[in-house]
Amino acid sequence: MSLFEPVPDLKTGAPVPAPLADRMRPRNLDEYVGQQHLLAPGKPLRVQIERDDAASMIFWGPPGVGKTTLARIIANVTRASFIQFSAVLSGIKEIKQVMSDAQKAAKYGSRTILFIDEIHRFNKAQQVAFLPYVEQGTIWLVAATTENPSFEIISALLSRCRVCTLHALTEDEVLVLLTRALTDTERGLGSTRIAASEETLGLLASYSSGDARSALNALEVAAKLAQARGAKTIDKEIATEALQQRVLLYDKQGEEHYNLISALHKSIRNSDADASLYWLGRMLQAGEDPLYIARRLVRMSIEDIGLAAPEALNITLAARDAADFLGSPEGDLALAEAAVYLALAPKSNALYTAYADVLSDIETTRAEPVPLHLRNAPTGLMKSMGYGKGYQYAHDEEDRIADMECLPLSLAGRRWYHPTTEGREKLLAQRMEEIRTIRAGKRKTSKRD
């Protein structure tokens, strides 16, 4: 049985009607909506499909943008044997058998296109099984994935496939699909004579987040609700009830997780409070663990603000405790408060940079012994060896500053921390200059003496 065939009803044996999203799949490139950067007339992928010029390729994009539909269109126009598998439902053993059969068929001039849905579900060891067959041209691999192929597909296989990036559909493109589904009497809802205003369809489109499948599913639910109530029109109230909640693309282990936290971090770093609130809200609404966000906010307070506003660390730690104590949704406000504070706080990565430079010097310079004058001398032997000799107790010195080198001789005078003029660091910079001036004065006095 093909993955694309209807499943029979277990009681009656009659085919169960496919969901609206499946029935309305475009059957050819003229019906296909979106991805014009790949499929507009004259574009290489369209020409390749129309000429039946098969080649191994990977369709990468978010859910509901047409990856499987493109595979079906290839199946409709190709003269090759077209076999479909889902990495969720099929094991590599079954696919190896298909590839072995394809190898035998190739000897008689027959071509085989193998479509793998959600190929990222195969681990890297399993993906190796495709390599010899793709390399020899025994099969043309067409794969679909929602995950970044750079991370999820082994490099050897990736180098043998063309990666086609599919984008989320625009609201206008989703609106075209919804209008078509509502009026199509053969495959859509046209026979129900249910109507909907452009405004209502626009609402469904806007809540789909570029996912055509989600939008069509919502339209089908709305139509059933309208029929159950004897209504001939899907109004905004019915549409809202069908939607329940906006679809937010998110995978806590996937690329979108890192995209969103990156957007939050960079918005805060750029002092954009509104953008920071938006990306924070997106993550929380999509189900991200609030404590993960709290940990990242704590990191931002150290990395991007540092001593320009040292209270930022306390504020983010307090927000973490509040989020943990209150839970969602009340605790989310504590994270929002911290995010806005961080965005508006003066920025400095001087401490972050200084510590990185210190680690670099530790790695690349000799591990000097601690100077004798900085060592404690709890025993007579240690004192006789010069431990503590020449140490100057700062509290006994004028201005509480001694003219004493605290670094190893080879690093004497080295400066790593260069405070900015932002926020509290401006005062710290002034204080560091004052300390240098005091030490320089004492050094001159000591030389005269």
**Residue 77 covered by a domain:** yes
Does 275 lie in the same domain as 180?
Answer: no
CB contact at 8 A, 253 and 289: no
Looking at the predicted structure, is the pLDDT value of residue 389 above 60? yes
Residue 154 buriedness (CB in 10 A; 0-12 / 13-18 / 19+) = middle
Does 304 lie in the same domain as 421?
Answer: no
Q: Which of 165, 188, 204 is the last residue of a domain?
A: 165
List the one residue out of 127, 132, 158, 126 whose CA is nearest residue 57: 158
Which one of 137-141, 347-351, 362-366, 438-442 scores highest in mean pLDDT?
Answer: 347-351
Q: Which domain holds residue 412?
A: 373-448
Percent of the chain past pLDDT 70, that is, above it, reads 90
Return the C-alpha torsion angle 384, 388, 391, 393, nearest 10. -120
**Residue 43 covered by a domain:** yes
Domain with residue 321: its CATH number is 1.20.272.10
Domain with residue 204: its CATH number is 1.10.8.60
- Report the pLDDT value the prediction gives residue 382, as an integer from 0 to 100: 85
**Average pLDDT rounded to a whole number, residues 408-435:** 91
* pLDDT digits 0-9 by tens, 6-55: 555 555 555 567 888 888 889 888 889 999 999 988 888 888 888 877 68
Question: Looking at the 3D structure of the chain, how many domains does it have?
Answer: 4
Does 148 lie in the same domain as 40?
Answer: yes
CA–CA separation, 427 and 436 (whole Å): 14
Q: Please, which pLDDT band fits residue 303 given cuts at 50, 70 and 90?
A: very high
Q: Which of 106, 130, 165 is the last residue of a domain?
A: 165
Does 337 lie in the same domain as 281?
Answer: yes
Does 80 lie in the same domain as 65?
Answer: yes
**Residue 179 covered by a domain:** yes
Least confident of 2-11, 20-29, 346-355, 426-435: 2-11
- Report the pLDDT value the prediction gives residue 299, as an integer from 0 to 100: 94
Q: Please, which pLDDT band fits residue 415 given cuts at 50, 70 and 90?
A: very high
Does 211 lie in the same domain as 193?
Answer: yes
Does 88 lie in the same domain as 52?
Answer: yes
**Average pLDDT rounded to a whole number, residues 311-323:** 95
Strand, helix or coil at 163? Answer: strand
- Report the pLDDT value the prediction gives residue 229, as an integer from 0 to 100: 85
Looking at the predicted structure, is the pLDDT value of residue 1 above 50? no
Does 212 lie in the same domain as 191?
Answer: yes
Domain with residue 433: its CATH number is 1.10.3710
Looking at the predicted structure, is the pLDDT value of residue 358 above 90? yes
**Residue 358 covered by a domain:** no
* pLDDT digits 0-9 by tens, 110-142: 777 888 888 888 888 788 878 877 877 777 888
Give kind and range of the element (H or E) at residue 165.
strand 162-165
Does 155 lie in the same domain as 41?
Answer: yes
Does 150 lie in the same domain as 66?
Answer: yes
Looking at the predicted structure, is the pLDDT value of residue 4 above 50? no
**Residue 138 covered by a domain:** yes
CA–CA separation, 50 and 58 (whole Å): 18
Does 177 lie in the same domain as 161?
Answer: no
CA–CA separation, 378 and 89 (whole Å): 71
Mean pLDDT (the chain) is: 85
- Report the pLDDT value the prediction gives residue 214, as an integer from 0 to 100: 87
**Residue 356 covered by a domain:** no
- Report the pLDDT value the prediction gives residue 3, as an integer from 0 to 100: 45
**Residue 119 covered by a domain:** yes
**Residue 351 covered by a domain:** no
* pLDDT digits 0-9 by tens, 159-200: 888 889 998 898 899 999 999 999 998 888 888 888 888 888
Percent of the chain past pLDDT 90, that is, above it, reads 27
pTM as predicted:
0.60
What contacts 447, CB < 8 A, 6 or more positions away? none
List the one residue out of 243, 246, 202 whose CA is nearest residue 220: 243
Q: Which of 165, 181, 215 is the last residue of a domain?
A: 165
Domain with residue 72: its CATH number is 3.40.50.300
- Report the pLDDT value the prediction gives residue 276, as an integer from 0 to 100: 94
Does 388 lie in the same domain as 268?
Answer: no
